Amino acid sequence: MSDVLGEVVSILIEVVGEDFLLDTEITPDTTFSDDLALESIEMVALAEKLQERYGERVNFVSFIGDMDLDEIMDMTVGKLAGYVEAQTAGTR
Amino acid sequence: MTEIFANGVRFHVQRLAPPGPAAAPPVVVFIHGLVMDNLSSFYYTLAGPTVSAGAHAILYDLRGHGRSERTAGGYSTRDGVTDLCALLDVLGVTEPVYLAGNSYGGLVAARMAVLAPDRVAGLVLIEASCAGPGAATWFEEMTNTLTVAALGLEFDRVQDRLRATGQRKIARLARNADALLNGTSLIDDLAAERPLDETELAAIGCPVLGVYGAHSELAEAAGVLRRHVRDCRVEVLPGLAHTVLREATGTLRDIVTGWLPRREATR
């Protein structure tokens, strides 16, 4: 698991708390909505914490700018982690 | 999570700043709809494009919704106005703001334009019927629908059955809806809600943009706005009903960003 993926997972646990599926193995292909049952408002909180962790360049609203709602809801952990990695390349 | 305490309540708030320096960007506050809704419906749709167009966006979960505190009472549109004014005070926003409200959120927005006109620069009402007999009927239908839902949640234990079948996300949504509908005054407050009267509507001096689906049961609200609001633009979108925000996001984005005032970036 990459550093960023691991960080995304730990922030997920922080956001969702005890409801989070601790027994689910999270891979880059795991989806936030279907696999992790993440609510859309929890995704907002996750995005905020990622920005706090990685800085202004990790801008979720900008990232989802060209996506439709279904695409946002179908997002995988790997896609988000990939975006964070790309935005922070050279700074981590 | 950004928590703001205002009017004695803990609110979940998200602020999005426009890219680059801008001289006094307009502030747009997004107000979502009832019960199953929260700030994410605007966060995923209009907030980003509005910010890209140069505005500062403020999104918040109404009390009892999303990640804001669920209080026992205080769910009238007047309470909503008091909450929002207090929230803006805490955020230090003193200039008049644009309010974009979807469905019930539009009622809070319109009520604020009446009760606190100095704080409102403009209104975007998306599928919200604020005045006239159509509005009264809509309030009644919402009350009836929520009452039926509340009974179902209380007596059928929908959330327990959903949880048992592994549908934990929906079960969680149902549990929150149960707590809101059966554990607060929301339905009673909605039942006591009265539409704006024509005089109040006519007294709204700020520009108003109304957007409705042609097949919506609220489509007649478009005519009410045209008849009574002085500075008004109304768009009726063909082929759509109440779910304009979700189903016509791109069209709505173009209408709203084209309607908001432009602010040039500073050099």
pLDDT tens digits along B184-196? 999 999 999 999 9
pLDDT of B265 > 50? The answer is no
pLDDT of B267 > 60? The answer is no
A1 and B CB contact within 8 Å: no
pLDDT of B213 > 90? The answer is yes
| Confidence at residue B1, expressed as pLDDT on a 0 to 100 scale | 55
> What mean pLDDT comes out for the span B207-215?
96
A62 vs chain B: nearest CA distance in angstroms?
A: 7
Question: Over the stretch B34-57, which tens digit does the pLDDT of each residue have?
Answer: 999 999 999 999 999 999 999 999
Predicted TM-score (pTM) of this structure: 0.92
> What mean pLDDT comes out for the span B21-27?
82
A56 vs chain B: nearest CA distance in angstroms?
A: 11
| Confidence at residue A22, expressed as pLDDT on a 0 to 100 scale | 58
Question: Over the stretch B120-153, which tens digit does the pLDDT of each residue have?
Answer: 999 999 999 999 899 999 999 999 999 999 988 8
Radius of gyration (Cα) for chain A, nearest Å?
12
| Confidence at residue B194, expressed as pLDDT on a 0 to 100 scale | 95
In chain B the beta strands, taken as DSSP E runs, fall at 3-6, 9-16, 27-31, 56-60, 97-102, 120-126, 208-213, 232-237
Residue with tokens 């759509």: B240
- Helices A77-88, A40-54: inter-axial angle, 10-degree rounding: 20
Q: Write the DSSP string, B101-158.
A: EETHHHHHHHHHHHH-GGGEEEEEEES---BSHHHHHHHHHHHHHHHHHHHHHHHS-H
A47/B164: higher pLDDT: A47
Give phi and psi for B95, each to the nearest 5.
-80, 160
pLDDT of B257 > 80? The answer is yes
Contacts 24+ apart (CB under 8 A), B86-90: B86/B6, B86/B7, B87/B4, B87/B6, B87/B7, B87/B11, B87/B13, B87/B60, B88/B29, B88/B119, B89/B6, B90/B4, B90/B5, B90/B6
Which among B1, B48, B51 is the nearest to A48, CB-wise?
Answer: B1
Which among A37, A45, A62 is the nearest to B1, CB-wise?
Answer: A45
What is the average pLDDT value for chain B, to the nearest integer?
Answer: 91
pLDDT of B262 > 80? The answer is no
| Confidence at residue B222, expressed as pLDDT on a 0 to 100 scale | 93
Give chain A's residues under pLDDT 70.
1, 18-23, 91-92
User: Which chain A residues contact residue B169 at CB under 8 A?
Assistant: 33, 37-39
CB of B179 within 8 A of CB of B70? yes
Q: Of B255, B264, B263, B257, which is closest to residue B26 (Cα–Cα)?
A: B263
State the pLDDT confidence band at B163, using cuts at 50, 70 and 90.
Answer: low
